[in-house]
Amino acid sequence: ASAYKPEESRVPLAIQLPPAPISKFKIALCQLTVTADKERNIAHARKAIEDAAEKGAQLVVLPEIWNSPYSNDSFPVYAEDIDAGGDASPSSLMLSEIARSRQITIVGGSIPERSSDHLYNTCCVFGTDGKLKGKHRKIHLFDIDIPGKITFKESKTLTAGESPTIVDTDVGRIGIGICYDIRFQELAMLYGARGAHLICYPGAFNMTTGPLHWELLQRARAVDNQLYVATCSPARDAGAGYVAWGHSTLVGPFGEVIATTEHDETIVIAEIDYSLIELRRTNLPLEKQRRGDLYQLVDVQR
């Protein structure tokens, strides 16, 4: 196997999986109903996070665009200046407050973010001290056209992010992607090579691609990289301009669906056990079997 130069298959070298601060914990995926009432959405999300914490969740994940309708018309209206904080970003202020008061880690789904003259689809990660630990701007914008089914172009209003986001938290090293980011295996491979235990994808797949690809992509990202993948979708609103598929899910490092749901509003509570990552990587030692003599994954920013 050494003749295959597996150590050269990732450039720079893959980071060894770091020891996690905790081996087992509960994760909550809050599949929320989203309305046009921003104040209601924020209060509703707060209540869901409180409920999840009461049920023992140490990591809470929210959906993509949970404070606003999902539409190009709405993004500029509901956008917040996250960097300014305070009253300029009531959604992130709420997440910070509840993360601190409940001493939980929150992957805050995503909200429209205004920064200078640009709008982004942005996920904020808050630590147990309430501080912002990471901010991921959706890298791959959702521009698709399936005639007779769905046409949507986020690029009409949104700007693409420029950086992968990996965050060390009290519940392990977490990579962040938003919805369409899940389709690009290279991003997940970067996170795996950077030592992620878990990748969280807040997302809102639609009624065309959801039934075909939502679970498939989650399981593929998990089994290819031998780590956990968690997704969180808005609940389905058949009367909305954009109808979400739902089905928030947790997938384990063997590609197994650990917990999932249908399309109604709910909170999915499940256990993550990081010891399974080492077990699966021992069972299938992919890292030692890669063909560095034939291909490389180059992490440009490293």
Confidence of residue 3 (pLDDT cuts 50, 70, 90): confident
Amino acid 1: pLDDT: 61
The C-alpha atoms of residue 277 and residue 35 are separated, in whole angstroms, by: 38
Report the percent of the chain where pLDDT is more than 90.
Answer: 99
Instruction: Using the predicted structure, report yes or no on whether residue 63 has a pLDDT greater than 80.
Output: yes
Contact 182, 217 (CB under 8 A): yes
Of residues 236, 182, 215, the one with CA closest to residue 32: 236
Amino acid 183: pLDDT: 98
Q: How far is CA 271 from CA 48, 194, 250, 275, 283, in A?
A: 18, 23, 9, 12, 21
Contact 31, 246 (CB under 8 A): yes
How many residues belong to the chain? 302
- DSSP assignment of 17-61, as one string? PPPPS-SEEEEEEEE----S-HHHHHHHHHHHHHHHHHTTEEEEE
Contact 201, 231 (CB under 8 A): yes
Of residues 189, 188, 192, 217, the one with CA closest to residue 205: 217
Model pTM score: 0.97
Chain centroid to CA 30: how far? 12
**Dihedral, CA of residue 268, residue 274, residue 279 and residue 284, to nearest 10:** 70
Amino acid 257: pLDDT: 98
Q: Which tens digits make up the pLDDT trace of 177-220?
A: 999 999 999 999 999 999 999 999 999 999 999 999 999 999 99
Amino acid 107: pLDDT: 99
Q: Which amino acid is at 60?
A: V
Does residue 12 have a cis bond before it (omega within 30 degrees)? yes
Task: Enumerate the domain spans of the chain.
Answer: 21-284
Of residues 14, 11, 13, 17, the one with CA closest to residue 300: 11
The C-alpha atoms of residue 68 and residue 41 are separated, in whole angstroms, by: 8
Using a 10 angstrom Cβ sphere, with 0-12 exposed, 13-18 middle and 19 or more buried, the burial of residue 51 is middle
Q: Which tens digits make up the pLDDT trace of 253-276?
A: 999 999 999 999 999 999 999 999
Amino acid 261: pLDDT: 98
Amino acid 125: pLDDT: 98
What does residue 163 show for φ and ψ, rounded to 5 degrees? -150, 135
The C-alpha atoms of residue 154 and residue 72 are separated, in whole angstroms, by: 7
* Average pLDDT along the chain: 97
Instruction: Using the predicted structure, report yes or no on whether residue 2 has a pLDDT greater than 80.
Output: no
Which residues carry out catalysis? 64, 138, 179
Report the percent of the chain where pLDDT is more than 70.
Answer: 99
Specify the CATH superfamily of domain 21-284. Carbon-nitrogen hydrolase (3.60.110.10)
